[in-house]
Amino acid sequence: MEIFEVDSKQYADIFSKPYHFFNAAAFNAINAYKCEQVFYLIFKDSKTRLGIIFGLRDNKLVSPFSAPFGGFESASDDIRLQQIDAALEALITWATSKKIQGMRIVSPSFFYNENFLNKIYNCLYRAGFESNNIELNYQFPTQKFTENYQNEIWYNARKNLKRAFQAELTFEKLANENAKEAYDVIAQNRKERGFPLRMTWEQVQETMTVMTADFFLVKKDETPIGAAVVFHVAHQMVQVIYWGDLPQYSEYKTMNFLSFHLFQYYKQQGIKIIDIGPSTEDSVPNYGLCEFKESIGCDISIKTEFYKKLQ
């Protein structure tokens, strides 16, 4: 197996339909300024087998360098374990020759591409990559949103949703020209709760040039009190990038109302999975977030960070 460095256009031609959009060359190209250098790597024997995009930071290769996850991309569904093994051997040799200090790879949760990712995890482990963190990820399969949904969620979630309905809140999907209204609610939420907001509005707009995004508002008497920013990240899958409410209106149980209508909306749109994202950081859980996501019916998966020291 040979490894080749290509440019973003060549990579995009080879992997024109990545299984998740954070692996797209276009997405990584617009974020290239966030690292020292971007490497678009392909692995070939008789034909191209795999690809991966790395950013270089502090003499370490990281995938992703500006996304929730990245990892390997396969050129076909019938990729074999021995081909992945050979690609990893070529990668380690290549990185060592460049005197790279280490490699960090975070793939998505298994539901994005279960068979392929199980193979990748096994091969990474055998190639000497260690699992640094195991994050708990939460996702909602829209098939669970049925006429019995309210009876199947936790009692406190059911009670909170009833209170939200009684408050006569409204749910609205915004046109793109009004999308900043949703972002501004998120920014206010983060500021009041003392949490960082990692993407500026300009960066959200930049991402929208290569990825479809949806913006939602919850209002009380025409006052925005909750919002969500959602990216279309894979076939029939979306990811909630940001959501939140304004603390001074917490009595209305805005997040229960917002999640209910997001589930309903995407079920109607034919989306299969709504990825709500992790509720752990460096494997440490935010108990309140974990319980909230479980209470509204989310399933749980894991997202593992692998690291291999080279020097």
Q: With contact defined as beta carbons under 8 Å apart, do 187 and 200 qualify?
A: no
User: Average pLDDT by consecutive 10-residue portion of the chain (311 residues)?
Assistant: 98 97 98 97 97 98 97 96 98 98 98 97 98 96 97 97 97 96 96 90 96 98 97 98 96 98 98 97 96 98 97 81
Q: What is the pLDDT of residue 195?
A: 86
**How far apart (Å, rounded) are the C-alpha atoms in residues 156 and 292?**
9
- Are the folds of 2-128 and 138-302 the same? yes
**Kind of pairing between the strands at 237-245 and 280-281:** unpaired
Domains of the chain by residue range: 2-128, 138-302
Cβ atoms 5, 40 nearer than 8 A: yes
CATH number of 138-302: 3.40.630.30
Percent composition of the chain: helix, strand, coil (DSSP 3-state, to 5): 40, 30, 30
pTM to 2 decimal places: 0.95
> How far is C-alpha 211 from the geometric centre of its chain's CA atoms?
13
Question: What does the alpha-carbon distance between residue 232 and residue 202 come to, in Å, rounded to a whole number?
Answer: 18
pLDDT at site 311: 81
Q: Does 2-128 carry CATH code 3.90.1300.10?
A: no
As a whole number of angstroms, the distance between CA 239 and CA 21 comes to: 11
- Amino acid making up residue 34: K
Residue from 302, 236, 244, 218 nearest 274 by CA: 236
